[in-house]
Structures are given as C-alpha cells and as structure tokens.
C-alpha cells in the first residue's frame, strides 16, 4: 500500500508534506528551530542518539512507542510498516504551532519530571490518522517539543497562499 507517499525532511521536493510554522492566532512569537530529531520505531537501542539532556526528558514520550497501530499480543501482524515519528524541538513562547493542518485536541496529560502538561492532537481530516503531541520542557520553558506521528495523505489546509510561509519552510529546511 501507499501508506507513505512522502516522508518528512528527506528531500526538499515535497513541499506539500512539509511543515510551515505559522500561528493562527495574532500572537507572532519568534520561533527558531534549534533541533530536529527523527525518531524511528527502534528505541530498544537506547543510547543510539546523541541527544543527551533532551532525549532524557523525551524518553518518557517515546519509550514504549515503537511499532504501528496494531500490536496485539498473540495476534501480531506481520506488518513491518512502522509509523514514522518525528520530534521537533522548537523555541517558541506558545505551545500551539500551526503547521498548516487542522488539529483537534483529544487529550492532555501531565508528564512526569515535567511541570508542564503534554497535549495530544489528531488530524481532523477523514482517514488521516496522523497524531501529534506537544510538550514543553520543564528545564527550558521556551522550548517546545512537537512530536509528529504518521504521514498526512492529503494537502495542507492552507488559509491562503503566503509566500512568507513557503519562504519560512525553505528557511527551515536549509537550516540543517
């Protein structure tokens, strides 16, 4: 199946699946991407990544999440399709970073070792099971970690064609 038509920051050719950070609310804060961590379904290694402090805080988030949606004991699907997971570390004053998609909040839980809660969002598009969770580091209040799970299979709901947005994307991509 074509579950994964496009991946994330692999190539710059797919601008549709990219993320354009812009706030819907009239609160324009300075958001500088200071780190991006592609998290795959292999966390068993443990110290495979060199993200010391950050990874330590995020371990609780990505600890037991490794495989696809259906992983039932006894009836494990041979589906080797693992859901891609990407963690974005962004410097922003606000938690809500609109990437162009429409998200619906479906939960909020307190995180251990963290004074700030974690918000769970889900793409409101029908058939799009992309999830995303936003967490703020207790150590650095100005750092927001956004973890995307899954890949969108539909165009971005863009309010309008803003060159600024596209420019913003390109800047983000050329940042690393």
Partner DNA sequence: CGGCTTTGACCGGCGC
Partner DNA sequence: GCGCCGGTCAAAGCCG
Residues in the site for DNA, rule: CB under 7 A? 60-61, 63-65, 72-73, 102-109, 111-112, 118-120, 122, 124, 131, 133
From the CB of 133, what's the least distance to DNA, in Å? 7
Give backbone dihedrals phi and psi of 55, rounded to 5 degrees, phi first: -60, -35
Distance between CA 115 and CA 118 in Å, rounded? Answer: 10
From the CB of 111, what's the least distance to DNA, in Å? 7
Distance between CA 151 and CA 55 in Å, rounded? Answer: 23
- The H-or-E segment that residue 36 falls in is strand 32-39
**In terms of CB distance, is 63 or 174 closer to DNA?**
63
Distance between CA 17 and CA 99 in Å, rounded? Answer: 10
From the CB of 26, what's the least distance to DNA, in Å? 11
**In terms of CB distance, is 14 or 159 closer to DNA?**
159
Residue 147 class from Cβ within 10 Å (0-12 exposed, 13-18 middle, 19+ buried)?
buried
**In terms of CB distance, is 41 or 170 closer to DNA?**
41
**In terms of CB distance, is 80 or 112 closer to DNA?**
112
């Amino acid at each position: 199946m074509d579950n994964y038509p496009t991946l994330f920051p692999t190539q710059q050719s797919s601008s549709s699946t990219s993320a354009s950070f812009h706030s819907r609310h009239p609160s324009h804060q300075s958001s500088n991407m200071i780190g991006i961590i592609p998290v795959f379904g292999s966390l068993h290694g443990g110290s495979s990544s060199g993200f010391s402090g950050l990874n330590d805080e995020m371990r609780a988030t990505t600890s037991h999440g490794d495989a696809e949606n259906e992983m039932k004991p006894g009836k494990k699907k041979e589906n080797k399709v693992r859901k891609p997971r990407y963690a974005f570390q962004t410097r922003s004053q606000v938690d809500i970073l609109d990437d162009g998609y429409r998200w619906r909040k479906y939960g909020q839980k307190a995180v251990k070792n963290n004074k700030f809660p974690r918000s769970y969002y889900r793409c409101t598009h029908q058939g799009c099971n992309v999830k995303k969770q936003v967490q703020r580091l207790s150590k650095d209040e100005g750092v927001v970690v956004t973890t995307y799970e899954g890949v969108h299979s539909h165009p971005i709901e863009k309010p309008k064609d803003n060159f600024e947005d596209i420019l913003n994307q390109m800047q983000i991509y050329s940042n690393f």
